[in-house]
Structures are given as C-alpha cells and as structure tokens.
Structure 1
C-alpha cells in the first residue's frame, strides 16, 4: 500500500489545526466573551499563534467563522421544526433553542455588532435565520397560534431581547431567561384584540 504523501499529510494537518482552533475559540468565546486573546486561543488549541493567523487573518474572521456555525445550527433546527405537525409548539421550541444558545454563549450577541457582521456569509446566514423564523411564524399565524401581524423578524428580535434582558441575572440565576422568554411568548400568542401601535419591520437592518 502506498504511503501518505507529504502534501496529503500537510492538508490533513491543516484541516485538523483549523478544527482545533475553531473548537478552542468557540469554547473560550462562549465562556468569556470576545475579548479573549489570540494567544489564549492558540494555547487551548495546542498550536502556535502563527498557525492561528495562517487560518484566520484577524480575530474578527475567527469570530465570523464561529458565528456562521451557530447561525447555521439555529437555522437547521428551524428547518427541522417546520416538519412538526403543531405550529404553535414548533415556534415555541425554536424560540427556546435560540435563547438557550444566546445565553450559553457570551460572545454571540457581542459579535453581532462587530466588523465580522460585514462578512457576506455572516449576513447571508442571518437572512437565512430570519427566513426560517418567518416560515415558522407564518405557520403559527395561519393556525391561530400567534397574534395576527406577528412576523419572523419580530420573533428574531424578541429572542435577542430576552437574552439582553436576562443577561445581568445569569451569573446568579442561570435559568432566569426562561421567565422573560415566557413573557415574550405570551406577548405574541395572547390576542388582546388590540392592534400593535407600529407596523413590523420589513427587514432586519444589519448596517
């Protein structure tokens, strides 16, 4: 059997190092937020700082890669929930998974406002998440499970708002977000008969 060529071995090492870096960065960003240094990421991954910069020219590129993974997983979850036969619980589950992800990852909401958002792939991933949320919300509207006029962008903004509301409490009360998520869900599901005072946003502004 022919042995592994040097080029193939080098490619294998590069793939392995990239995976180690992404895993280490995801863990550290989730634990401590975006101020984690490249040196700390390299140390946890077991590689040199030079290896980090061979894969990611700047920390924002590394943050963007982490964001893409999180956004992709959330959108995939939404796609799976579209097959659920009961639209109301499916939307509730989607909102719960989103908030649970946000509160478990300190860096995620910090990252949204950073230059990493200028990456075309990140912007596209956010748009995909909004589209999935809209499909889930439209099904719930048609089933009468949410108030008329509630949109997918409303849902995306609300789950982000729940994380921001609960964030000061999470160190002492890590499950506090569930209270505010339930309040948000009540707000979109309990039909008071009153129209909301402002129309829904037509798109999620990313600038």
Structure 2
C-alpha cells in the first residue's frame, strides 16, 4: 500500500472509531469497554490503541468535542440583546446535550476524568457560562450570587431530576428547568448558604 493509501486508511479508521465511540459512550456511559468500541467500529482492538493509547484518551477526545460545542454556543449568545433569554437558551442546549449523551452527563456533572484537556475545557465552559450569567446579572434578571459554575452544575442537576421520565416524557426536563429559573431570578430570593464551587480541578493530579 502506498503512503497516501496508508494515510487515507488511518483517517478513515479514526473517523469510524470516533463515530463508534461517540455512540457507545452516549448509550452506555464511561464504563463502555474498548473492545465494544472496536466491535462497533468494525476494527481490531489493536487498531483502536494505535489511535488512542487508552480509553481515557478516547473519551477525552469525545468530551472535548461536546464541551467545545457548548462553549461555542455560550460565546455566540453572550452578545445577545436579551441576556436572560440567552442564558435560558444556553441552559436548554446544555440539558439537551446531556439527555442525548450518558457519558457527557457523567463527566460534566462529576468531572473525574483525569485528563488535563478535559479539565481545562470544563474550566473554559464555566468561564463562558460566567460571562452569560454576568450579563444577565447586569440586566437585573438573575440574582447576583450565582456563578457560571453554578449554571454548569445545574445543567446536570436538571437533567438528573428528569432522567427517570426520559423514556416516556423526553421533554420533562423543561419543567425542571423552569423551576430552576425561578430560583435564579433576582427578585424574591434569600441569600444562598454556601459559596459557589469550582470545577477547574486545578488541585488534582497533573496527569494527562
């Protein structure tokens, strides 16, 4: 096989692998095996490891795609005239992503994947959510003691609240989003009893 042919083969195999892994992680969560992914992709297990040294590296590649999409959404919405509507749209988009992807829900709600790239991306996501939240606070629609990290964590919380209904009522999360939005409003609220958390995970080990 020529060099160009081998290169084309590698590109094709990587595309098949990422597609299969995206579907497998979305359906089965982070515990899916590399063997299952290889089988879905129609590739030998060794081919999978030639592209990704570990399952964590493969999962990280998938997670980075998803988180980057949410960051792009936030960056697009941050200049919207109606900051409150922009924040609501961002949260709805994030919850829909969680509902469609089990692994994404596991990582974004409990970001334990020991991968520097994913930790950094989640930090950037919190920063993008902070910008959206800050604009809504400036316009007086969102309470002043809410952080971007709060918003990111609430995406997972709202999804988890509606998860038992997902099979029969796939839009039930919209009810819990509306309940949450009432709690985010700037009027008629009480002071929160605990400071906002931090998902940047900078204190964790430096492995990547």
Shared fold, TM over 0.5: yes
The answer for unaligned runs of 5 or more in structure 2 is none
1:59 corresponds to: 55
Instruction: Output the CA distance in 1 between the equivalents of 2:139 and 2:186.
Output: 14
Q: How many residues align?
A: 201
The answer for unaligned runs of 5 or more in structure 1 is none
Instruction: Output the CA distance in 2 between the equivalents of 1:94 and 1:45.
Output: 32
Superposition deviation, residue 193 in structure 1: 4.5
Alignment of 1:45-194 (within 5 A): 45-112=41-108, 113=110, 117-194=113-190
Instruction: Output the CA distance in 2 between the equivalents of 1:101 and 1:87.
Output: 21
Tell whether the 8 Å contact from 2:111 to 2:119 is kept in structure 1 after alignment: no
Alignment of 1:188-207 (within 5 A): 188-201=184-197, 203-204=198-199, 206=201, 207=204
Superposition deviation, residue 194 in structure 1: 2.7
Instruction: Output the CA distance in 1 between the equivalents of 2:150 and 2:60.
Output: 24
Tell whether the 8 Å contact from 1:63 to 1:111 is kept in structure 2 after alignment: no
What TM-score, normalized by structure 1, do the two folds share? Answer: 0.89
2:17 corresponds to: 21
Instruction: Output the CA distance in 2 between the equivalents of 1:15 and 1:175.
Output: 37
Instruction: Output the CA distance in 1 between the equivalents of 2:111 and 2:181.
Output: 29
What TM-score, normalized by structure 2, do the two folds share? Answer: 0.88
Name whichever of 151-160 and 163-172 sits farther off.
163-172
Question: Displaced runs of 4+ in structure 1, greater than 6 A?
Answer: none
For residues 37-65 of structure 1, give each alpha carbon's deviation from its aligned partner in whole angstroms, at most 9, with x where no partner exists.
32222222222211111111222221111
Name whichever of 72-81 and 190-199 sits farther off.
190-199
Tell whether the 8 Å contact from 2:120 to 2:200 is kept in structure 1 after alignment: no
Tell whether the 8 Å contact from 2:25 to 2:102 is kept in structure 1 after alignment: yes
Instruction: Output the CA distance in 2 between the equivalents of 1:32 and 1:178.
Output: 24
SS of residue paired to 2:31: coil
